[in-house]
Chains A and B, each alone.
Chain A
Amino acid sequence: MKKTDYLITGIGFVILGIGLYMVKTLENVQGVILTLPYILVGTGCGSFGYGMSNIISKKAISKDVKLQKQMEIEENDERNIAITNKSKAKAYDLMTFVFGIVMLIFALMNIDMVAILLLVAAYLLVHIYAIYYRLKYEKEM
């Protein structure tokens, strides 16, 4: 796990570096290439921050065995898991409704068909994923 954190941090740092270099050096570009450096800076910062925070937090608790045990208990606590799952389920229900409304608004606004289709595909993907797990758990439980 620690190796993965260092890897994510390193990759993030490299992507960030490439992004910053592209911001400084790219000239007279158009289209997607124009936004690419900023996307790289964004994803680089995100990966670097995520990896670094993991490394720091793990280092901070590595010397305190009691705290480590407490955190493990909090993570595996059945009530905490039940609360997380319940809130995720509520958020899923809300997302279904919100996605539906957004699709309708996009359609009424005459937004580009590609954007609407992408949203519909994302909406369907989430629902297919939910159906897949429902069937899987029905077999398992």
Chain B
Amino acid sequence: MKNKLEELRKERGIKQEELAEAMEVSRQTIGSLENGRYNPSILLAFKLARYFEMSIEDIFIYEEDSE
């Protein structure tokens, strides 16, 4: 699944490590999310959305054929 995590994080000048610490996940998880290699759980998606003060749909882009 594509997402705007990297873009949003860089816009706000946050390091991967800082975002990982705030989300209580590993830095590798943030890296994998940004690369689109890993799809987050709904809980982590909500946490990320709250952190960036956006809705989940604004961060993660659902495409029918992405699965």
> B43 to chain A: which residues have CB within 8 Å?
78
Main secondary structure, interface of A, reads helix
Over the window 50-81 of chain A, the binary record of Cβ atoms lying under 8 Å from chain B Cβ atoms (1 yes, 0 no) is 00000000000000000000000110111110
CB distance from B11 to the nearest CB of A (A): 24
Which residues between 28 and 58 of chain B lie within 8 Å of chain A, taking CB atoms?
28-29, 32, 38, 40-41, 43-44
Contact across chains for A79 and B32 when beta carbons are under 8 A apart = yes
Contacts of A82 in B (CB 8 A): 38
Quick one: closest B residue to A76, CB to CB? B24
Q: Which residues of A contact B29 (CB under 8 A)?
A: 77-80
Q: How large is the interface on A (under 10, 10 to 19, 20 to 34, 35 or more residues)?
A: under 10
Contact between B38 and A79, CB atoms less than 8 A apart = yes
B25 in contact (CB, < 8 A): yes
Q: Which residues of A contact B28 (CB under 8 A)?
A: 77, 79
B22 to chain A, nearest CB (A): 11
Q: Could you tell me the distance between the alpha carbons of A77 and B30 in the complex, rounded to whole angstroms?
A: 11
Q: How far is the CB of B27 from chain A (nearest CB, A)?
A: 9
Where the two chains meet, the residues of B that have a C-beta atom closer than 8 Å to any C-beta of A are 20-21, 24-26, 28-29, 32, 38, 40-41, 43-44
18 A/B residue pairs, CB under 8 Å, sorted by A: A73-B24, A74-B26, A77-B25, A77-B28, A77-B29, A78-B25, A78-B40, A78-B41, A78-B44, A79-B25, A79-B26, A79-B28, A79-B29, A79-B32, A79-B38, A80-B26, A80-B29, A82-B38
**Given known contacts A78-B40, A79-B38, what 12 new A-B pairs fall within 8 Å (CB)?**
A73-B25, A73-B26, A76-B24, A77-B25, A77-B29, A78-B25, A78-B41, A78-B44, A79-B25, A79-B28, A79-B29, A82-B38
